[in-house]
Structure 1
Amino acid sequence: MSTTSEQIVHHARQWIGTPYVHQMATKSAGCDCLGLVRGIWRDVIGTEPERPPAYTMDWSEPQGEEWLWQAALRHLRAKPLEAARQGDVILFRMRAGSVAKHLGVQTEIGGAPAFVHAYSGHGVVESPLSSPWARRIVARFEFPNEEAV
């Protein structure tokens, strides 16, 4: 069975309302942005390919290492930034010079782009992919098909 962008968006939206809880990945109980993507993976593909180690809120910043980006490259398919599609996993750099460490799933493209993400203080929400968010995107990925896992 093939994973479709519609399945990814459907499952991402099912997480809306989940509280923000650092390091969790449980629908309705709590998750952070990585936990959201991990949960969607489990929903559409199955067992996670790797479990992240315990991490702090500032993980990878002191070392300046792109750990989240490297993990995404291990398990997702990288694609050009300009090739936006529903269901894409998008990686954000929140501040210039810092490591990229916020994730979301693109739910709408075109004139009113949007994405679902777990946002500290807000939980899992669907937000407009406004210019302030869009300019922070540093990478874009696709979930693999189940056959490729």
Structure 2
Amino acid sequence: MSAAGERIVAVAETWIGTPYRHQGATRGIGCDCIGLIRGIWRELYGEEPEPVAHYAPDWAERGGEDRMAEAGIRLFGPALGVGQMQPGDLLLFRWRPDTMVKHAGIFVGPSHFIHAYEQVAVTRSVLVPSWRRKIAAVHRFPTARDEGQSPASK
């Protein structure tokens, strides 16, 4: 595991047990899957890469835009192949091939990921075949060029 991946996994593990709360992004208080990624990003880079607009619980079913997939590319760069997954990578999921990306988690390897699971909490889950089939994209967190500065602010 790379040093960056090890740090990301360690940060993600500190979120385990945080209650699920739609649009939340506070460790120990509440978060959804987007909030979990936002919180990890803040700890890595000191600030969020961009403001997050309000989103309804059914946001992925509305509007026809694949906002989460687009944000993945915009903030993390081109997607990697599933075979290239390394601990600390961002996983984006879609429930069916014809739907928008709707869920995110952190791969912790070799067969687990951490995610904010609705009606549960932030948890470590086994990346069973049914979850693996839903992976829409794998992204690696960008490397900050200057300590404490977000790569997206460059």
Please confirm whether the aligned pair reaches a TM-score higher than 0.5, indicating the same fold: yes
Gaps of 5+ in 1: none
- Could you tell me which residue of structure 1 aligns to residue 80 of structure 2? 79
Gaps of 5+ in 2: none
The answer as to 2:43 corresponding to 1:46 is: no
Q: CA deviation at 1:101?
A: 1.1
* Runs of 4+ displaced beyond 4 Å: none
- Could you tell me which residue of structure 2 aligns to residue 68 of structure 1? 68
Q: CA deviation at 1:60?
A: 3.5
User: 1:3 touches 1:146 (CA, 8 Å); kept in 2?
Assistant: no
| Matched residue count | 145
For the aligned residue pairs, the C-alpha RMSD in angstroms reads 1.5
Quick one: which amino acid aligns to residue 146 of structure 1? A
Quick one: which amino acid aligns to residue 76 of structure 1? F
Q: State the identity %.
A: 42
**1:1-149 correspondence runs (5 A):** 4-77=4-77, 78-109=79-110, 113-147=111-145, 149=151
Whole-angstrom distance in 2 between the partners of 1:105 and 1:6: 11
Higher strand proportion: 1
Instruction: Write out per-residue CA displacement over residues 42-72 of structure 1, whole angstroms, 9 at most, x where no aligned residue.
Output: 1112111102100001114222210011111
Higher helix proportion: 2
Instruction: Write out per-residue CA displacement over residues 49-105 of structure 1, whole angstroms, 9 at most, x where no aligned residue.
Output: 102100001114222210011111111132222201000100000234221110000
Instruction: Write out per-residue CA displacement over residues 83-132 of structure 1, whole angstroms, 9 at most, x where no aligned residue.
Output: 010001000002342211100000112xxx10000010111000000001
User: 2:87 touches 2:108 (CA, 8 Å); kept in 1?
Assistant: yes
Could you tell me the TM-score, scaled by structure 1's length? 0.92
Structure 2 CA distance for partners of 1:3 and 1:68, relative to 1, 3 Å = farther
Could you tell me the TM-score, scaled by structure 2's length? 0.89
Q: CA deviation at 1:40?
A: 0.3
Quick one: which amino acid aligns to residue 18 of structure 1? T
User: 2:33 touches 2:115 (CA, 8 Å); kept in 1?
Assistant: yes
The secondary structure found in structure 1 opposite 2:6 is helix
Whole-angstrom distance in 1 between the partners of 2:104 and 2:3: 19
Whole-angstrom distance in 2 between the partners of 1:108 and 1:3: 14
